[in-house]
Structure 1
Amino acid sequence: MPKETYLALQAQIKRLQDKAESVRVKQRQPVIASIVRSMHDYSITLDELKNAIAKGVPTTRKSPGRPAAAKGAAKPARQVAPKYRHPDTGDTWTGRGKPPRWLVAAEASGAERDSFLIKD
């Protein structure tokens, strides 16, 4: 098998690009017909389309079949006041999630968790 040269590869790329463009043009016709049909069915004018495009109406959906505010969308995190404080370093912990190392080490050495409670 002969070694492929840069020029041969460029020629092959050009042929594939031309073929892709030809397929794209053929596939556009049914899409255009569908758009025209929808415009007729809903009495949409070209001016309305131009205004929608000018206002930045999205032209594609990012996730087919799902609304913009999809289920499971991240909610802003709420701030939780610290519940425990290390007396020497001032490190704090809210009491949520995994306990910090300083608290685990203090408990391992015999300290009570309640002794680190922040008293207002």
Structure 2
Amino acid sequence: MSTLQDLIAQKDALDRQIAEMQRTARADAISKVKALMAEYGLTAADLAHRAGDGVKKAAGTKVAAKYRDPASGQTWSGRGLKPKWLQTQLAAGRALIDFAI
């Protein structure tokens, strides 16, 4: 039967083996990447470039107004919550199409 010290020694030996295997695998991966970079003439800047870089996303952009309150001139794009002026008018029996621009 193994003693506690034997098991700790085995664990330490395994930890060292794992660390060495990780270093070896990492070094192999780096050399493969360098070989591919050399083969295709790539630079680190090429690797940093991702698909879609330089293309602005539409998130947060303004949308044209679709509805207008004739009394106040306030507008609503049709997205998000209905504004209070429109909710009030709809509750009074008016139709959404009445406010279309």
TM-score range, shorter chain: 0.3 to 0.5
What is the TM-score when the length of structure 2 is the normalising length? 0.44
What is the TM-score when the length of structure 1 is the normalising length? 0.40
Structure having the larger proportion of residues in helix: 2
Larger RCO (alpha carbons 8 Å, 6+ apart): 2
